[in-house]
Chains A and B, each alone.
Chain A
């Protein structure tokens, strides 16, 4: 096969000497799996910090006149909460984290195309994260994760730190994007044509160009805001001839694609977990893969649906409304296909599967409210209210974060060689599922009835539901604590998983858990899609992977 010839050589072709010493292995590692785990651990640390901020928000909102923290502090709290959750938690977990950990294994590669760049992009990330949190020391940003000027020009010094920090995470994302695109294009095992790639790889393949292209617009916007704040060059200040709306265009030209950065990899996770536990192929493989690409492309053409109240001319707004509706079609295709995947299955309820099914149920709600929001007359009512907060948490928590949890329960054995505890996992799922819905569902009607977002105090008529949400959010936090306990306990005491505890069929499960640093002793050859459970595995050349035989030519190449 011609493809085979092209892909068997190159970087994937030889095995490097094993890295020696703790620092080389676990700190400045070049191994995509270790880097992936580093991303995951770091992101979860930031997740705990921004989760604490979330609880501060909910505690403040227990009472209509606040009182937990001063309004100024409150604004800092939710601004850093949102920024950190987006840029330090969800994006790194799904791209640098699970992306690095899983997809090179799934395409039968020994590493990503540029391991040094990979290490660099990881190490930028914790530095940027610490910078973001350090902004609390100098007056953190207060204008939300969007930091619209001119108000963000008035923000304390921490706002400039915010610009710098987000700029750096952006650099890290861009590098990761380039790395992943090249890896997927150039380093697939022989025979792994595009139509044989696992759907998680498709998810990353659709995401990586977004990381590369969209993030550059954000970088430009951040640089301009930083320069204006520090050196007074008026990009955005209208009293000096700048345009505040320009920031919104640049920001959303990034941030709408960014919402797909935060969901396409999660779609990929769900598309792996469902067939494995339903014991049948994912329904409509081609359409699922195709719809990811369609969403990624359309995602670049809808940014102004965040700006329907910003004073754009009506004829400019119309195409954004219609194109946003159209994104609902490929999104719907995915949801229907996943649901159909369950039909006729033999479903095993592992925690990963619960999270995957929960994902479909909750993400769909966020997808539908997203279509509502694209309707300009409705958006003119609820823009800037708690309805938006509800929508974005249904897609980002009910969607992306549930996807992350599904991925954690599913691939934890691949990372550690041990299973997470399933009983704790199920408690985690149910408490989280209930807590999440009770926290965010009422926000829909609060927003429609008149509660604006980003407020430290609110109209007393909304007290009941706000208290209800706050209490529910504590339940959610408790569920997440159980998850952390589970992880910490299972790393040492979890049941040993063996190479393939779930009977899964993608390549990463055909090698030991955790895999050797070189992944595959011999790069396998791929003969088909992995998902048909009635067929033998479509791989050749894996015979030695689970034996004790040494890897061929372990030294030398460089």
Chain B
């Protein structure tokens, strides 16, 4: 039986690691991983792990009830735009932050903050979230 890259990504998250691909032609990272390099289309790829450490550039939030039923227990949640130390941009839930204007304003005023992965489980799926360090 073949294994989907998607399953492998989520299984790897369960081990606390972030699965990506490194392109052997252009050396670009594709995260999360797919079947082709997002920069040059090459399929000559190797799997690697990213640290997940990075900078939270901006932090906003969403609505409740959420569009996706998986998040019904945690919505509304803070959601951020993040630059990982490997140069990859990613967006995700930021835990431990109340999505209220005063809180978000303070974070915005302070400027970019360091974050690291906070892998959480919702309705049986491990997902990549972040927390401020």
User: Does chain A bind chain B?
Assistant: no
